[in-house]
Chain A
């Protein structure tokens, strides 16, 4: 049988993912995450009188801490599985990926396991984050945008 014909049979019996539903869930959860982030910034700047710029950093640190804690306690993977990109795209996804790898490789030692492998999933985010930041800053300089 030709490979093409076999692929047709496979496609016939492969269930379709519900893209629309997934997008709606991600949109709603992502929105809620945005509101939560803003609420944290407001809390830090109004009640703890932290300057707005530092309050943003505090918000990010809080979210990272919460997702790492919930990952370690063992139920954040179920949230992520349900909310999908609603939790993966924000900083919570990065923290979750790093923390889950750290938990997994801790048994292989601090240096050879934890240190070497905790960025296994999230390392690509850092590399391409830096590369794209550099590229766009360079473009901005060339175009003379202030």
Chain B
């Protein structure tokens, strides 16, 4: 399902990260980074909520708006019941919508927000996403201090919060169109190979987007997937080619860009709902403002993994939503 927009712009963005991200290649593009995993709070879960709050505060500061100018918050994360977002917005003035699409949450939020702005249902909307490495490890995998070896295809959840302010006031970055994806079953149940689980969903959404808009892959200066990792990236390329006959050329994966995969202990790369927006809102938007990139398709990918259903021997479904960004002068 594809939407086209005439008057939706990303007005301001903010990125707040942990230490692994600030030691990575994109460190100079982030607004703020923390060295420890607690951010002065008592638990990792609380720290994740703080990441969202910080990101939103910086967005408001940059835009010169206050909380009372914002109509709606749309936010999501990986914690059970999307707790990080729920707790971050306690007592705040704007209305709040909590969403979940695993690591595709960022583009889902942008799509919902863009639809409302385009229809004139709201004036200012803030979309936020977060993830916290330790909180995710604790919930989905093993205790953080447990050192059991992982396969090379495992990914490393990013620690960070990212937020974007959407409105219809003209700015450098326009949301041009968006495609909502469908739930795809990869037939796999390897929780340490999420890139392979998500690649068919990414391929499906990219194909549908190109079909609906009548474009070819060359239309975009860069197609970005969310968090497929170094192996998932190769799988997507080959799958796209053999299933749809599409050769991905100007293609990269934010999970590979945010870390130095060769030097940092992150296995196949980054993952998490904050991964795609952290890279996009920092490095990619900067490149677009400089004029190096004009049209970018961001395809955030989410593995809808339920530990219970995996233990019950079911395969892992995945989803992917795409947002097309355009630099305007």
Binding site for B on A (CB under 8 A): 1, 3, 6-7, 9-10, 12-15, 17, 22, 71-72, 74, 76-81, 84, 88, 96-97, 99-101, 103-105, 107, 120-121
Q: Given known contacts A9-B239, A14-B231, is B146 in contact with A121 (CB within 8 Å)?
A: yes
Evaluate contact between A101 and B243: CB separation under 8 angstroms: no
Taking a contact as CB atoms closer than 8 A, the residue among A6, A103, A107 that contacts B42 in the complex is: A107
B234: Cβ under 8 A from any A Cβ = yes
Binding site for A on B (CB under 8 A): 42-43, 138, 142-149, 151-153, 186-188, 193, 196, 200, 231, 234-235, 238-239, 242-243
Taking a contact as CB atoms closer than 8 A, the residue among A6, A17, A22, A77 that contacts B152 in the complex is: A17
Q: Given known contacts A6-B239, A10-B188, A17-B151, is B146 in contact with A100 (CB within 8 Å)?
A: yes
CA distance A71 to B148 in the complex (A): 12
In the complex, chain B residues whose CB is within 8 Å of the CB of A71 = 145
Q: Which residue of A lies closest to B145 (CB)?
A: A100
Evaluate contact between B238 and A9: CB separation under 8 angstroms: yes
Evaluate contact between A1 and B145: CB separation under 8 angstroms: no
Evaluate contact between A10 and B147: CB separation under 8 angstroms: no
Number of A-B contacts (CB under 8 A): 81
Q: Which residue of B lies closest to A99 (CB)?
A: B145
Evaluate contact between A6 and B145: CB separation under 8 angstroms: no
Evaluate contact between B153 and A15: CB separation under 8 angstroms: yes
CA distance A99 to B152 in the complex (A): 25
Evaluate contact between A104 and B235: CB separation under 8 angstroms: no
Evaluate contact between B188 and A7: CB separation under 8 angstroms: yes
CA distance A10 to B239 in the complex (A): 9
Q: Can you offer 27 A-B residue contacts whose CB atoms are under 8 A?
A: A1-B239, A1-B242, A3-B187, A6-B239, A7-B187, A9-B239, A10-B193, A10-B196, A13-B238, A14-B153, A14-B231, A72-B145, A77-B144, A79-B147, A80-B146, A80-B148, A81-B149, A97-B148, A99-B145, A100-B145, A101-B146, A104-B138, A104-B143, A104-B144, A121-B142, A121-B143, A121-B146
Evaluate contact between B231 and A15: CB separation under 8 angstroms: yes
Evaluate contact between A76 and B231: CB separation under 8 angstroms: no
CA distance A81 to B151 in the complex (A): 11
CA distance A91 to B268 in the complex (A): 31
CA distance A12 to B238 in the complex (A): 10
Contacts A6-B200, A9-B239, A121-B142 aside, 7 further interface pairs with beta carbons under 8 A come to: A6-B186, A6-B239, A13-B234, A100-B146, A101-B143, A103-B145, A121-B143
